């Protein structure tokens, strides 16, 4: 689990796909991580029912519009103990993001039918997040 | 899951950047409402327990309303808003635009009659000023001691 970041660095091609942009008047840019040409986040949004999709889209737009000032029972800008946030549109769907300066990076998605996610998952996500954060800085600087 | 990630990305980006549907607008209103309530609760330091007392609902009901109530009724919205001291009103961008247009028209009319309006405003201001000066003089005279009488207006 701990070495996941290194494993990702060796084997995975990571890209950041811009979904919302400051150029369009948003306060934050929103990116979705794509790993080996697949994005768990985008595929998960796409797989939602129309109503749930509309809810998630609107929530992300509100977050991009207002930044961290935006308050919602469904958004935790930063989880306790971890340095990333969680968007929980419904009890069992979790979108994870990290804010790097003026950019919001949606880096993973989890689904759990009942109860909350185990702490092992949150720890793994913390390692993943650090990797994506580092890679993003490289992506932004063009290296 | 879609095979072509480029197509999926374009599709997602298009959804995010296109005009909102009625359903998205409805979600937007619900999200705005919760943003207003939570901001007000934070600014006024209102806890969920206090909100329960104010609305006369159980703590469990308040948690349900704040955590997982996607289709909150208008009645519950008003109850929550009242309990945090917000006067919730329904308006539309059309109504707001009409108000704005009325104000612009009013301002233009006022500008067309500047001399008269200004005269009226100035004369009323002068009257108020004179009255307050007289009152001030009376007060000062009363408050001042005999030895200070040289400074009375």
Cα separation, B7 vs A89, whole angstroms:
25
Three-state SS at A79 = coil
Across chain A, what does the average pLDDT equal?
89
On chain B, the residues whose CB falls within 8 A of the CB of A71 are 34-35, 38-39, 42
pLDDT in tens, A11-20: 778 999 999 9
Residue B145 pLDDT level (bands cut at 50, 70, 90): very low
DSSP string covering B41-102, please? HHHTT--HHHHHHHHT--HHHHHHHHHS-TT--HHHHHHHHHHTT-------HHHHHHHHHH
Q: What is the pLDDT of residue A128?
A: 93
Domain map (residue ranges) of chain B = 5-83, 93-151
CB-CB contact of A84 with A10 (8 Å): no
On chain A, the residues whose CB falls within 8 A of the CB of B1 are 38, 43, 47
Q: Does A61 touch chain B (CB under 8 A)?
A: yes
pLDDT in tens, A29-79: 999 999 988 999 999 999 999 999 999 999 999 999 999 999 999 999 999
Domain map (residue ranges) of chain A = 4-137
Residue A28 has pLDDT above 80, yes or no: yes
Residue B36 has pLDDT above 60, yes or no: yes
Option in B2, B17, B24 nearest A43 (CB):
B2
Multiple choice CATH, B5-83, 1.10.260, 3.30.360, 1.20.120, 1.10.3470: 1.10.260
Statement: A4-137 belongs to CATH 3.30.2310.20: yes
């Amino acid at each position: 689990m701990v070495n996941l970041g290194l494993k990702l660095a060796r084997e995975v091609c990571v890209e950041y796909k811009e979904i919302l942009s400051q150029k369009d008047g948003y306060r934050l840019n929103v990116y979705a991580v794509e790993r080996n040409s697949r994005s768990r986040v985008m595929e998960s949004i796409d797989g939602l029912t129309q109503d749930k999709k509309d809810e998630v889209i609107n929530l992300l737009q509100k977050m991009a519009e207002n930044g961290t000032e935006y308050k919602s029972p469904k958004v935790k800008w930063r989880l306790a103990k971890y340095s990333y946030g969680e968007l929980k549109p419904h009890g069992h769907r979790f979108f994870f993001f990290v804010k790097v300066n003026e950019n919001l990076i949606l880096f993973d998605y989890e689904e759990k039918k009942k109860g909350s996610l185990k702490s092992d998952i949150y720890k793994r996500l913390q390692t993943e997040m650090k990797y994506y954060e580092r890679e993003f800085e490289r992506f932004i600087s063009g290296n | 899951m879609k095979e072509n990630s480029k197509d999926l990305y374009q599709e997602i980006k298009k959804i995010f950047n296109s005009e909102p549907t009625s359903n998205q607008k409805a979600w937007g209103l619900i999200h705005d409402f919760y943003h207003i309530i939570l901001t007000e609760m934070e600014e006024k330091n209102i806890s969920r327990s206090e909100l329960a007392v104010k609305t006369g609902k159980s703590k469990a009901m308040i948690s349900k309303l704040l955590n997982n109530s996607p289709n909150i009724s208008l009645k519950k919205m008003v109850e929550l808003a009242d309990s945090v001291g917000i006067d919730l009103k329904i308006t539309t961008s059309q109504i707001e635009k009409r108000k704005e247009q009325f104000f612009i028209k009013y301002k233009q009319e006022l500008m067309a009659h500047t001399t008269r309006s200004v005269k009226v405003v100035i004369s009323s201001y002068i009257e108020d000023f004179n009255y307050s000066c007289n009152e001030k003089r009376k007060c000062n005279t009363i408050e001042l001691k005999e030895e200070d009488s040289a400074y009375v207006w």
